[in-house]
Each structure stands twice: as C-alpha cells, then as structure tokens.
C-alpha cells in the first residue's frame, strides 16, 4: 500500500522536477521483486514484436496456428473481449455525424439536370428528338443543330457511368476484402460488428470522395460542352443589310421614344425574319450604344432621317419640307433624359 508512492520517488531521490516519464520507470524497474519476472516477459514480447517482420510468412502462419491452438487461448480471448467491451464505449459516438454534403448534392442535381446521371435514354433518339422539339415549341432545327452536342454529351455520360461502375466495383471488392480480413482476425482479437460497420463506412467515404471527383470533372466537362455548343454568342451571325435597314429606320424615326411595343416588335421581326427577342436585343443594344456615343451615330441618324423624309415626301408628293437633318438630336429625345457621361474625345 505504501509501496506506490515510494516507487515513484525512492530511486530518483530528487524527483526530476517535473517529468517523471513512463519509459524511465520501465527502464528502472524500480527494483521491485515482483517486477522481475514480468519485465522478462515484456522484454520477450517486445523482442518478438521487433523481429516479427523478419520472420517468413510460413513461420508466422505456423506461429499463429500454434497460438490459436493454445489451451489458454479461449480464456485469454474472453479477457480481451471484456477489456474491449469496456474501452469501446469511449470511441463509440465519436464519429456519428454524416452530413448530406451540400456540394455532392449540387453535383448530383446538376448531373441529373443535364441528363448525365438520369435514366438511360437508350436508342430512342427519335423519342428524345421529339421531346426536344416539343419542349422547344417549334425550334425544328433545334435537334439538328444540337445533334453533335448530344452525341458528345452521351459520350461523357458513357464515360461517367463506366467510371462510376468501376469505382463501385472496386469499392465492393475492397470492402469484401477488408471484411474477410477482419473476419479472419476476429478469431484472434475481438472485433465488434460496430467496428466492422465503422470500417465499411470509412471505406465507403473514401471511395465516394473519389466518386465526387469524378462527378466534379464530369460536371466541368458538361459545362465546357454547353458553353461550346449551346452558347448562342459563339455562332453569332450579323443580320442582313435589309433587316438592319428596317430596324434602323424604325429606331431613328422613333428616336424620341425608341421603345417598340410588343406588337411593333412582332411586326419588325416578321419584316426582318428574326425573332421578337432578337428585335428586343437589337433595340436594347442600339439604345444603349446610341446614348453612349451620340456623336458616332450622328451621321447614321442624319442618313435615316433623310431617308424617312424622302419616303415621306414620296408619299405625300410634297418636297419642300424645311427639314434640316443636321441636328436630329435637338428635339425631345426623352429617352436620353439621364445622361451619365458624354465621353467625347
């Protein structure tokens, strides 16, 4: 009873001022009579552990078998189980959280939306085309225009699925392997189902992080593909001369309020054989660019003013209109009300 405190201090005398150190005690042995035998045992075991890597596999197997057949083995195993039972409580509950990872969900959603991870549309390309046409609501050339896009997309899809399957398979393989290993080991050391479960969880997490990389890169590829094929900016064509003529005529003849109504837009679109949204784009661009640099458009403005004047006179058969087109902006250009900065160089 009074042995314990003495063990701590007796051999050192002056107690090291702070760090007793476990190794120190073990080396000292403290001269205890009962420690001698155990020390010997521990030394033996350490020796065995140190040399275990030098042993051949057969030797190790033989030793393992011998241990397994040892008559004390069941009893020792029970003891191990008991100890483990007590200590396992501490590690349980340490890692239970499994957040559904927003990043992964985003990727999944996107892949699903792009039809990469969705159901196989198979050879039913006709059905897909029909669906696309129906969705487009009249874009007959839509499917033709995007056929190579879809081809590339399905290529990506195939790669994605192949890789995914490969990872899945590898994961299963590895899991099986590890479980076999654990089962094998559970003959010599106690392994709870919980631990196995945990191990499987760890493996799955690792593999799913790999899958996440795959999904990430697939998403990137799809995005690049999209921007390459579906971005209308990449295949921009100028409107033909006549169309711009018509649009400019309207713009400069409504310079004080160049905001065509929906009806007018439809009319213009029909005349120029472009869509209403293209008309809207054109007017949006025209307004902002005109406002930004009126000087640059002066000439154009004069030209179209003259032109409309000419057609007007043509219609009215009256030519002597004192229409001076040199300063067309002097009138109430109400849409210019807010002049930010006339960048005149």
Partner DNA sequence: CTATATGATTATTA
Partner DNA sequence: TAATAATCATATAG
Residue with tokens 């067309």: 328
To DNA, the closest distance from the beta carbon of 168 in angstroms equals 34
Determine which residue in the list 27, 68, 78, 227 makes contact with DNA, applying CB under 7 A.
Answer: 227
Sole window of 44-52, 199-207, 284-292, 322-330 interacting with DNA (rule: CB under 7 A): 284-292
Q: For DNA, which residue of 48, 296, 312, 314 counts as binding (CB under 7 A)?
A: 296
Nearer to DNA, 90 or 345 (CB): 345
Count CA atoms closer than 13 A to 235's CA, side-chain side. Answer: 9
Q: Which of 94, 232, 315, 331 touches DNA by CB under 7 A?
A: 232
Question: Residues 259, 310, 324, 327: which binds DNA (CB under 7 A)?
Answer: 259
**Cβ-based nearer residue to DNA, 200 or 303:** 303
* 244 is a contact residue toward DNA (CB under 7 A): yes
Among 122, 322, 340, 345, the residue binding DNA under the rule CB under 7 A is: 340
**Interaction between residue 329 and DNA (CB under 7 A):** no
Question: For residues 186-225, which are near DNA according to CB under 7 A?
Answer: none
Residue selected from 11, 154, 253, 280 as contacting DNA according to rule CB under 7 A:
280
Quick one: tokens of 62?
């033989």
Is residue 121 within 8 A of residue 115, CB to CB? The reply is yes
Q: 250 vs 282, which CB is nearer to DNA?
A: 282
**Of residues 28 and 333, the one with the C-beta less far from DNA:** 333
Comparing CB distances to DNA, the nearer of 171 and 222 is 222
Binding status of residue 285 toward DNA by CB under 7 A: yes
Stretch that binds DNA, among 37-45, 99-107, 179-187, 281-289 (CB under 7 A): 281-289
Which token pair is 186? 């559970």
Least Å distance, CB 271 to DNA, is 15
Under rule CB under 7 A, residue 155 binds DNA? no
Nearer to DNA, 145 or 184 (CB): 145
Q: Which of 132, 291, 302, 307 binds DNA (CB under 7 A)?
A: 291
| Per-residue H/E/C for the chain | CCHHHHHHHCCCCCCHHHCCCHHHHHHHHHHCCCHHHHHHHHHHHHHHHHHCCCCCHHHHHHHHHHHHHCCCHHHHHHHHHHHHHHHHHHHCCCCCCCCCCHHHHHHHHHHHHCCCCCCCCCCCHHHHHHHHHHHHCCCHHHHHHCHHHHHHHHHHHHHHHHHHHHHHHHHHHHHHHHHHHHHHHCCCCCCCHHHHHHHHHHHHHHHHHHHHHHHHHHHHHHHHHHHHHCCHHHHCCCCCHHHHHHHHHHHHHCCCCCCCCHHHHHHHHHHHCCCHHHHHHHHHHHHHHHHHCHHHHHHHHHHHHHHHHHHHHHHHCCCCCCCCCCCCCCCCCHHHCCCCCCCCC
Nearer to DNA, 211 or 269 (CB): 269
Residues that bind DNA (CB under 7 A): 227, 231-239, 244, 259, 277-278, 280-282, 284-285, 287-289, 291, 296, 335, 338, 340
């Amino acid at each position: 009873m009074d042995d314990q405190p003495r063990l701590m201090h007796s051999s050192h005398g002056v107690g090291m001022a702070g760090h007793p150190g476990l190794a120190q005690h073990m080396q000292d042995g403290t001269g205890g009579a009962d420690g001698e035998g155990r020390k010997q045992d521990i030394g033996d075991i350490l020796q065995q552990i140190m040399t275990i890597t030098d042993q051949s596999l057969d030797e190790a197997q033989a030793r393992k078998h011998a241990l397994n057949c040892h008559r004390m083995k069941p009893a020792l195993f029970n003891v191990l189980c008991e100890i483990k039972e007590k200590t396992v409580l501490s590690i349980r509950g340490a890692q239970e959280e499994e957040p559904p990872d927003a990043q992964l969900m985003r990727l999944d959603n996107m892949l699903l939306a792009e039809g990469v991870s969705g159901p196989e549309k198979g050879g039913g390309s006709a059905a897909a085309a029909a669906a696309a046409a129906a969705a487009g609501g009249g874009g007959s050339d839509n499917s033709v225009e995007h056929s190579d896009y879809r081809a590339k997309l399905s290529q990506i899809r195939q790669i994605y699925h192949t890789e995914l399957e490969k990872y899945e398979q590898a994961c299963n393989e590895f899991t099986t392997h590890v479980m076999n290993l654990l089962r094998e080991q559970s003959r010599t050391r106690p392994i709870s189902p919980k631990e196995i479960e945990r191990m499987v969880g760890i493996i799955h997490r690792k593999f799913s992080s790999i899958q996440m990389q795959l999904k990430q890169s697939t998403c990137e590829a799809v995005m690049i593909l999209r921007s390459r094929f579906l971005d209308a900016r990449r295949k921009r064509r100028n409107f033909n001369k006549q169309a711009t003529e018509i649009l400019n005529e309207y713009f400069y003849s409504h310079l004080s309020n160049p905001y065509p109504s929906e009806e007018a837009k439809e009319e213009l679109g029909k005349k120029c054989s472009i869509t209403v949204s293209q008309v809207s784009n054109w007017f949006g661009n025209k307004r902002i660019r005109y406002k930004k640099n009126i000087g640059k458009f002066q000439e154009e403005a004069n030209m179209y003013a003259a032109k409309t004047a000419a057609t007007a006179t043509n219609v009215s058969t009256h030519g002597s209109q004192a229409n001076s087109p040199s300063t067309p902006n002097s009138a109430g250009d109400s849409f210019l009300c807010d002049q930010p900065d006339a960048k005149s160089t």
